[in-house]
Amino acid sequence: MGYYEFSIAVPAESKEALMNMAHEAGSLGMVENDKNLVIYFPDYPGIERLTRDFSSFKTILRDAGLPHDFSFGYVYISERDWNESWKKKFQPIDVGQNLSIIPPWEEPKSGRINLIIDPGMAFGTGHHDTTRTCLEHIERISRAGSKDRFLDVGTGTGILAIAASKLGFREVVGVDLDPLAIDAAQRNAVLNGLNNVTILQGTISVTEGVYELIAANLLSDILIVIAPEISARLKEGGTALLSGMIIGQEDEVIAEMEREGLKFRERHYDGVRWVTLVVTH
């Protein structure tokens, strides 16, 4: 299997919308820099479909009143060259008060809690707004309450689960449907020297017991479907972080969570496009 690396020059006002489109189209990961947006896709959708999707999205942006004059190019990357391509694009970043996300080929940062993440072929390097917001909330919550059990639904590279472990949670579980994500998350747990992180393949239904903190960085449609299970897995007095929604989708998610007995507490806007919710049991 091979991969496509798209390099996209996009106006800042339209970047978040384009990132969401790419995520829904099956992006394996994306990296932002000053000049452009770099997005990775597996080759199995076919380059014709991918280029058609990007070209058609210009019309969607125009109809939404957003700048739509972005340009893009792409290169094919063989599986053998995947990691070398990531090494050129994936730079360390600081998140919150104490967290730093670093690839394994960089030196750890002194005085910081280092999250060593090798993305492999999974989504989640911490460069996306929703991931950074979830990390900031996990760090904040870890300072204030019980740190017994943590659940990460849709774990990707395992970045949120690894952060929870390093921030003091006793038992950490990550779950994902994608076998590539399972492989990446398990390898990253080993890279970080963690022995209290369990990675499971499947939906939230494969998990057991209740958790003090649940993170679910997923699309709004999925959050609505799994609302009953989030409620069932959240310990009385516990907190759930719900992210991955586009602004305007959160009210429906809030309504569904409240139907399942959860209480809406906070909403945080991530950039100009995304929103993260905090709910409690």
pLDDT tens, position by position, 191-209: 999 999 999 999 999 999 9
pLDDT at 19: 80
Domain end among 61, 88, 115: 88
The stretch 179-189 carries a mean pLDDT of: 88
pLDDT at 131: 87
Rounded to 5 degrees, φ, ψ at 251 are -65, -40
Judged against a pLDDT cut of 60, whether residue 114 lies above it is answered with yes
Domain identity same for 176 and 262:
yes
> Residue 126 is part of which domain span?
93-280
pLDDT at 112: 96
Q: What's the CA gap between 10 and 67, in Å, rounded? A: 8
* Gyration radius of the chain's alpha carbons: 18
Q: What's the CA gap between 128 and 147, in Å, rounded? A: 25
The stretch 273-278 carries a mean pLDDT of: 89
Domain identity same for 206 and 246:
yes
Domain identity same for 153 and 220:
yes
Domain identity same for 82 and 100:
no
How high is the mean pLDDT of the chain?
88
pLDDT at 41: 84
Yes or no: say if 67 and 61 are a contact pair by the CB < 8 Å rule: yes
Domain identity same for 80 and 32:
yes
pLDDT at 272: 66
At 261, the pLDDT band (50, 70, 90 cuts) reads very high
pLDDT at 88: 65
Domain identity same for 131 and 201:
yes
Structure tokens given for 271? 């950039």
The stretch 145-173 carries a mean pLDDT of: 94
Yes or no: say if 68 and 58 are a contact pair by the CB < 8 Å rule: yes
Q: What's the CA gap between 161 and 173, in Å, rounded? A: 7
Of 32-46, 68-82, 205-219, the one with minimum mean pLDDT is 32-46
The total of structural domains in the chain comes to 2
The CATH number linked to 52 is 3.30.70
At 122, the pLDDT band (50, 70, 90 cuts) reads low
- How far are the Cα atoms of 36, 176, 190 from residue 5, in angstroms, in the given order? 12, 24, 28
pLDDT in tens, 72-88: 999 888 766 666 666 66
Q: What's the CA gap between 41 and 5, in Å, rounded? A: 7
Whole-model pTM: value is 0.76
In the three-class reduction of DSSP (H, G, I as helix; E, B as strand; rest coil), residue 146 is classed as coil
